[in-house]
Amino acid sequence: MERIYTSEKKFLKLKQMTSEDGKNFKELHIHIMNIKGWLRGIHHHYSKEHMQNYLDEYHFRYNRRSNRDTIFDVLIRTMVHYK
């Protein structure tokens, strides 16, 4: 049998806070601004239908921003160091 929870039951200690122009969640607002700038700069046009794909691509690139190696470089390095 499937249980259905309302937000009040599931998150009893959840407290809504006002943003105060981004002061409470500064890093989150910066991240959102970076996503918006990336969307406008790279895609120029985007649709709500594919928004999850755009976000997936952005976060894939964001999470790998410090690792600039290509797949080819990783493959060669792995082959050279293989025992």
Domain residue limits, the chain: 7-80
Query: Which of 39, 41, 42 lies closest to 52, judged by CA?
Result: 39
Q: What is the DSSP string of 23-39?
A: TTTHHHHHHHHHHHHHI
State pLDDT tens for residues 53-70.
Answer: 999 999 988 887 877 777
State pLDDT tens for residues 26-50.
Answer: 888 889 999 999 999 988 888 889 9
Specify the pLDDT at position 35. 93
Specify the pLDDT at position 54. 93
What pTM value is reported for the model? 0.55
Main-chain dihedrals φ then ψ at residue 3, nearest 5 degrees: -95, 135
Specify the pLDDT at position 58. 92
